[in-house]
Structure formats: structure tokens, C-alpha cells
């Protein structure tokens, strides 16, 4: 299989590239390096610098690959903006990059006869779920522009694939964290809003304090419960998903989560076993549901996918990657 990974210089995309190459597949990456980094791209993947909003850039990568003897079998899309508060302040930027980017990509795929797409969606499409465990057929009611750009993209993908006899594999992720076993790649960004990197930035001194927002939720210890998946487990699902839609000539949509939740206090306790860091209790933030867990039975049934790594693996690998990055910079 040959994959064109758009956004393959970013956090999750770069891990997908590593897993594709480990599984013996051929990979090309297209990325505008807006948040991604050239050095995150695996040495065995060909790199095309370009923008998903620019049809000529996508066509250059697709035609460049075909000219090498084997056309692209599947496109994987990771090229989105994903900072929720930023999406509230700059919705037009988000709709442009995330939705128009998908439209241009689909149009280019149709024109070049590429019939398979793997797309990164998010738990944010569910909004504030009525129950603790999200199922794929639940109501979709995003509460911020970021989530809405992903829902709009999902809908566009379904319509376009139906009209042009194409296959899609849409994955909805929950909390993704950790770093590749090689420690060559990990979460490089400084601007983060997620629990594990916020904790580890505090551990390595890039942040003065870690805040727990709210201890009066209806959960066993009063802090919010979330579902954490190691990025390499998530990346492996993309390989399985692409192989599945190609082999079976079909489309799928699955949650990717661990199916079990950890509270913020439990994650803090687990992280403190690795290193100490300062913690302050703060007021609840608006819009944080008490419990958000993925039901990933569908991914298990269809793809045989289950996360292999534990919360401890997630925390340890993120910390080791950060320490290595600091040592490199020093």
C-alpha cells in the first residue's frame, strides 16, 4: 500500500507515518509545516512541502508519486487546526483550513481517481454527551467551531465518497498523548491545552504550576474523568483502518479510545510517581463534562484494534521525549 499522509509532519500524523513504515507500507508526506516540523518526518518517507488549500500542491505530490511507478492508494488527513479556544476566537480561519482544506483534497482525489481516505475526526463532534460513554451513533452537537469543522468535514466526506464510489475510514479520537518508543518523535508543540502535556510541561519546568479545574464533579474523587490513548496505539489503528477499507472496498467510522477512564486526580497521582511537580486546585471551567469515555467496541470488532499501552506508558514516554528534547536544545 502507498499512503499520502497530509499533515504527516505533525504530532499524530508523524506517528502514523512511523507505524505505516513499520508495517511495510510506502509513504509520502505533504505538510505546510505550520505546526509540524520537517524533522518529525520519517527518513524513509518522501516529503512534499505544500498546502492542502492549494490544489496544485496536492496534485504535485500525487503526480510525483505516480511518476515513481506506483500511484497513491490511500490519502490520510491530519492537516487541521485544533486549538479549541483559538477556534472560538478565529472561526473563519478554522472553517477555511479544516473544511475548505478537506474540500480541496477531495476534489483533487476525485480528479486523480484516488478512492480511499482515512480521516482524523474528534470526540468534539459529540459536544456535551448526555451519557458518560460516547457511541458512534450518538447525537452530534459540537459546542465549538473546531468540533463543528470536523462534523462538517465528516458529512462532506460521506457525500463525496457516496457520489464518487470512494471509501472512507473516519476515526473519532479522544485524549491522545505519549511519544513513539524510539523517542525520535513526540508532542513538540508549546501551545497545548491537554492534560498530559500540561502536567509534563510542569514537570520539566516549562510551566510553573499545574491546575486541577474543579473537584466537585459527580465522579468518585470529584475530578473529571477522561479516556487516554497512546499515540502509537492510535497510529496503528490508522494502518489497520487503511488496510481494511482497501481490502474490503468499504467505509467505516469508529471511535478510538481506551474504553476506560482516569480522573484528573488519578493521572496526577500516576505522574507524581515519575516526578514531583506543583499542583493547585482551581474553579471548574465552563463546558467540561464530568465524564467522557469512548466506547471503542466497533473498532475492536471491525479492525481487531485495542490499545496495548497503559496510562503509565503514556506518561513515561511523554516525559522521556520532553527530557530528551530539552537535552537536545541545551
Ligand X SMILES: NC(=O)c1ccc[n+]([C@@H]2O[C@H](COP(=O)([O-])OP(=O)(O)OC[C@H]3O[C@@H](n4cnc5c(N)ncnc54)[C@H](O)[C@@H]3O)[C@@H](O)[C@H]2O)c1
* Residues carrying an active site annotation: 146
Residue closer to ligand X by CB (options 59, 222) is: 59
Q: Given the complex with ligand X, which of 106 and 176 has the nearer CB atom?
A: 176
Structure-block grid coordinates of residue 196: 498530559
Give the nearest distance from C-beta 276 to ligand X in angstroms: 26
Q: Nearest 10 degrees: CA dihedral of 90, 96, 101, 104?
A: 180
151 versus 203: smaller Cβ distance to ligand X: 151
| Helices assigned H by DSSP within 284-329 | 297-303, 311-329
At closest approach, how far in Å is the CB of 48 from ligand X? Answer: 10
| β strands within the chain, DSSP E | 2-6, 26-31, 46-49, 74-77, 116-122, 133-134, 167-173, 175-177, 210-213, 225-230, 252-256, 261-263, 279-282, 291-294
Residue 199 vs residues 10, 13, 145, 277: alpha-carbon distances, Å: 21, 23, 26, 8
Q: Which of 64, 67, 34 is nearest to 51 (CA)?
A: 34
Nearest-approach distance from CB 155 to ligand X, in angstroms: 16
H/E element holding 131? none
Contact of 134 with 258, CB cutoff 8 Å: no
Binding site for ligand X (CB under 6 A): 7, 9-13, 31-36, 51-53, 78-80, 82, 97, 101, 120, 122, 173, 176, 194
Cβ nearer to ligand X, comparing 100 with 215: 100
The residue with cell 468540533 is: 147
- Residue 295 C-beta: closest distance to ligand X, Å: 16
Amino acid at each position: 500500500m502507498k499512503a499520502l499522509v497530509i499533515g504527516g509532519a505533525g504530532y499524530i500524523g508523524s506517528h502514523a507515518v512511523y507505524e505505516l513504515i513499520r508495517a511495510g507500507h510506502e509513504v509520502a508526506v505533504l505538510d505546510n509545516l505550520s505546526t509540524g516540523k520537517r524533522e518529525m518526518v520519517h527518513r524513509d518517507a518522501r516529503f512534499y512541502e505544500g498546502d492542502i488549500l492549494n490544489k496544485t500542491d496536492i496534485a504535485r505530490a500525487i503526480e510525483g508519486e505516480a511518476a515513481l511507478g506506483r500511484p497513491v492508494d490511500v490519502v490520510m488527513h491530519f492537516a487541521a487546526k485544533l486549538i479549541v479556544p483559538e477556534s472560538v476566537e478565529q472561526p473563519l480561519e478554522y472553517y477555511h483550513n479544516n473544511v475548505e482544506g478537506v474540500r480541496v483534497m477531495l476534489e483533487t482525489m476525485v480528479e486523480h481517481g484516488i478512492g480511499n481516505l482515512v480521516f482524523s475526526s474528534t470526540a468534539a463532534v459529540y459536544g456535551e454527551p448526555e451519557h458518560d460513554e460516547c457511541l458512534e451513533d450518538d447525537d452530534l452537537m459540537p459546542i465549538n467551531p473546531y468540533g463543528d469543522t470536523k462534523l462538517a468535514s465528516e458529512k462532506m466526506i460521506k457525500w463525496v465518497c457516496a457520489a464518487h464510489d470512494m471509501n472512507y475510514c473516519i476515526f473519532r479520537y479522544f485524549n491522545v498523548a505519549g511519544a513513539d518508543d524510539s523517542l525520535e518523535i513526540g508532542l513538540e508543540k508549546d501551545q497545548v491545552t491537554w492534560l498530559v502535556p500540561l502536567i509534563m510541561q510542569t514537570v520539566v519546568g516549562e510551566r510553573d504550576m499545574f491546575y486541577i479545574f474543579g473537584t466537585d464533579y459527580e465522579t468518585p474523587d470529584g475530578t473529571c474523568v477522561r479516556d487516554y490513548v497512546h499515540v502509537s496505539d492510535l497510529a496503528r489503528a490508522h494502518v489497520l483502518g487503511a488496510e481494511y477499507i482497501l481490502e474490503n472496498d468499504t467505509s467505516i467510522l469508529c471511535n478510538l479510545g481506551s474504553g476506560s477512564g482516569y480522573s484528573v486526580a488519578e493521572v496526577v497521582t500516576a505522574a507524581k510517581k515519575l516526578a514531583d511537580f506543583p499542583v493547585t486546585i482551581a474553579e471548574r471551567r465552563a463546558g467540561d463534562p464530568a465524564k467522557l469515555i469512548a466506547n471503542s467496541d466497533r473498532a475492536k470488532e471491525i479492525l481487531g484494534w485495542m490499545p496495548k499501552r497503559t496510562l503509565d506508558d503514556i506518561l513515561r514516554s511523554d516525559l522521556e521525549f520532553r527530557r530528551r528534547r530539552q537535552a537536545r536544545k541545551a
